[in-house]
Amino acid sequence: MTSEELDIAFEEAVERINAHTEPFPADFLLRLYAYYKKATNNYGRPSSRKPIINAFKTNALFQVKNISQEEAKRTYIDLVNNYFLYRK
């Protein structure tokens, strides 16, 4: 997959998530959050009003700190595809 194809697939996966109206499991959301932030090079601090949520988000970001932007995009795409493939 070329870099351009990866970017298109990533944007399509983001759109699928944003268009979904049912709630997602919290652990899945945290993984999506971390891979999205890494894939988009957005290293801003978590901005929830609840400190515990910021702590979980910070931990999720810490867990993906050593992967590349491309790898983060690929993993995000895989997470989305698997979620919609296996959800009930």
pLDDT in tens, 3-18: 999 999 999 999 999 9
CATH no. of 3-86: 1.20.80.10
Question: Cβ of 46: how many Cβ atoms within 10 Å?
Answer: 17
pTM assigned to the model: 0.90
Q: Over the stretch 12-63, which tens digit does the pLDDT of each residue have?
A: 999 999 999 999 999 999 999 999 999 998 877 777 788 888 899 889 999 9
Tokens at 10, concatenated: 């990533």
Q: How far apart are CA 58 and CA 84, in angstroms?
A: 26
DSSP 64: T
Domains in the chain: boundaries: 3-86
